Structure 1
C-alpha cells in the first residue's frame, strides 16, 4: 500500500494560518491590480467623453466605437476582480495542502461567492479545502499500482466534493447570515455615522501598520467589499498609505529632523506608500512610538474626509495605480494628501534632531523593510 504526497511541512498552527492567509493574498493581488488598472483606464477614458457610468450595459450599443471599447475594458477589469475570492481560497488551500489543494480551494471560493458569504466565506473555504485535502492525503491508502492516481483523482475529486458539502450545508448559511447582518448595519449608517465609521477604520489601520488591529480593520473592509459595501474599504485603502507617504516625505523635506537611519528608511517608505505597503512607516514607529498618535490622527482624518466627501474605492487596492479608478478620484487623492500632510507636519513635533543622536546602535535599529518575490 502506498500513500500519495499532498501536504507541506509542519509548523505551528498560528504560523501556518498566518502564512496561508498571506499566500492567498499575495496570489490574489495581481488579479486585483490588473482588474483595477484596466477598469481605471476604461473609466478615465470614459470621463473624457463625459461618461461616469461606463459599466452600464447601455454603452455596449453606443454610437462611438471608442465608448464600446471602453465599456468592454471595464468588463475585462471586472472579470479579473471577480476571480478574487476563488484565487484567495485556492491559494490558502495550496499553502496548506500543496498543489492538490488548489482545485478544491478555488471551487470552494467560487461557491462562497455564490452563497453570498463574501470574503470571510472565501477564507473559510480555503482552510476547509486545505485541511480536507491534507486529511485525505494522510488517511487514504492505495495499492502502489494506483498511487499515482491519488494526486490527480482522489484528492481533487474527494477534496472538492467534501469542501462543497461543508460549505453548503455547515458553515455557508451562518457566514452568509453574518455577512447580511454586517451589510444591514452598514447600509443603515448614513451622514455623520458613516464618517465616524470611516474615521474608526482609518485609525485602526494607522495604529499598528500591518499588525493585528490593522489586519482586523482591513479584513472586515474586504469582507464587506465582496458584498458591495464600499465605504469601509475606501477608508481602509486611504489609511494604508498615509503614514508611509507622510513620514517618508517629512524625512526627505526636513532631513535635519531625522537621524541618518530614518533618512534612508524614508526613501523606501515613500515608495512603499505609493504602492500600498503600510509597513514602510514601521522604522519610524520603532524609533519613536509617539508617532503612532500622529499616524492615527492622520489616517482617521484622511479616511473620514474621503468617505464624507463621496469618494468610493471599489477594489481592495491602495497603490497609486488604482487611484484614478476610484469614483470621485480628485477627492480621494486630496484626502490622501491631507492625511499625509497631517502625518508629515505632526512628525516635526515628535522627531527632533537635537533629541536623537546618530549612534551606531541607532543606525542598526529598524532597518527599512524589504519585500521579496516568493513562490
Structure 2
C-alpha cells in the first residue's frame, strides 16, 4: 500500500516537473542572453529599472528581455502545481492548483509549497467529485461550480495558514544557507548534487537534485545549477568514451549504445547512460556517481557559473568561466570512463571468439 502511494505521488510530481521544465528553460535562457549581452557593455545588473530609460536602444532591449525571462520563470510554481493537480484529478484541479501555486510563490514557500499546492488541489478536487452527490438535475453544478470553488478554498486556506509558513521558513533558511556557503562547503554541496544526479540517471534522485537546483535560479542562486548541469552530461559522455577506449570489454549492443550515449551526452540527456547501468549496475553506478560528483565540485570550485538550466554543448559558451566549466566536464568524463573500464575487468575474448567461429562456419557452408 505504501509502495503504491509512493509510486502514485512520484508519477504526479514528475508530470508537473515535465510541464514546468520548458518554462524554466525558456525563462532562464532568455535571461542569460540578456545578461551576457549586458556584459558586452560592462553591465552586470541589466535587470535594474534604470536601464529601462537608457538612451541606448540595445541596452533597453536587453533590459526588457531580462524582464520577459523573469515572467516565464515566475510561472514555474503555478504551472508545476497546476499539472500535478491535473495528473491527479484531470482538468478539474487546474484552476485550484494554479491559484495555490501562485499563492505559494507569493508567500515565499517556493518549490515545496508549489508541490504541496498541486497535491492538495488534486486530491481535494478528486474527493469533492467522488463524494458530493447532487440530484441528477443539479449534477452539472459539481464540476463547474462546487469543485473549482471548494477546491480553491481548501487549497489556499491550507497553503496560507497551515503549510505555507513552515515551507516559506524552510525555503528562506535553505536560500540563506546556500548563499552563505563558500570555499570547501560550497564545493561539498556541489559534489553532493553531482553525486545525486549521477546516481540514477534521470530517475527520482536525479530529478530531485536537478529540479531543486533549477528552482533556486529564481532566487539568484547559481552554484547548485552549475553542479547539476555539469553532472547531467558526464555519465553518458564517460560511458560512451569507455566503449571507444576499451571496445573489447563491451559487446556489440553496448558499443552501439556507446555511440548514442556520446551524442545524448553532448545535448544534455543523462538517460543515454541507462543501457550500461541496466546491464551492470554495480560496475556503472559507482563510476557515474564519482565522476559526476567530481565534475560538479570542480566546476563550482573553479568559479564557473551557469545561470541557465542548459547542460548541452550549445550553452557552454554563455557560462562564466566556460573554459574551466568544459575542463570540469572533461575530467568528470575521464573519471567515469576510467572507472568503468577498470570495474569491467577482462576483455570479452570468449564472446569475440564465438562471433569469429560463427562467421567462419557460415563462410565454409557457403
The structural deviation recorded for 1:310 is: 2.2
**TM-score normalised over the length of structure 2:** 0.85
The answer for the alignment partner of 1:302 in structure 2 is 295
**Partner Cα separation in structure 2 for residue 45 and residue 184 of structure 1:** 29
Give CA deviations for 1:107-153 in whole Å, capped at 9, x if unaligned: 11111111111111111111011001111111222333333333232
Cα pair 1:20 1:92 within 8 Å, conserved:
yes
**TM-score normalised over the length of structure 1:** 0.83
Please state if 1:64 is matched with 2:56.
yes
Instruction: Note the 1:46-85 alignment, pairs <5 A.
Output: 46-85=38-77
Please state if 1:117 is matched with 2:100.
no
Cα pair 1:207 1:213 within 8 Å, conserved:
yes
The answer for the alignment partner of 2:191 in structure 1 is 199
Please state if 1:347 is matched with 2:360.
no
Q: Which moved more, 1:185-194 or 1:21-30?
A: 185-194
Instruction: Note the aligned Cα RMSD (angstroms).
Output: 2.6
Give CA deviations for 1:131-180 in whole Å, capped at 9, x if unaligned: 01111111222333333333232222221121000100111111112222
- Cα gap change, 1:156 to 1:196, in 2 (>3 Å): same
The answer for the alignment partner of 1:272 in structure 2 is 264
**Partner Cα separation in structure 1 for residue 114 and residue 227 of structure 2:** 22
Structure ranking higher in helix proportion = 2
4+ aligned runs moved over 6 Å, structure 1: none
Secondary structure (helix, strand or coil) at the match of 2:303 reads: coil
5+ residue gaps, structure 2:
353-366
Query: Of 326, 330, 334, which aligns to 1:337?
Result: 330
**Partner Cα separation in structure 2 for residue 50 and residue 224 of structure 1:** 25
Cα pair 1:44 1:324 within 8 Å, conserved:
no
Larger radius of gyration: 2
Cα pair 1:32 1:317 within 8 Å, conserved:
no
Cα pair 1:116 1:179 within 8 Å, conserved:
yes
**Partner Cα separation in structure 2 for residue 220 and residue 36 of structure 1:** 14
Give CA deviations for 1:5-49 in whole Å, capped at 9, x if unaligned: xxxxxx932222111111101111111222233233333433444
The structure showing larger relative contact order (alpha-carbon pairs under 8 Å, at least 6 residues apart) is 1
Give CA deviations for 1:168-208 in whole Å, capped at 9, x if unaligned: 01111111122223233333321111112211221222123
Query: Of 98, 115, 120, which aligns to 1:106?
Result: 98
The answer for the alignment partner of 2:27 in structure 1 is 35
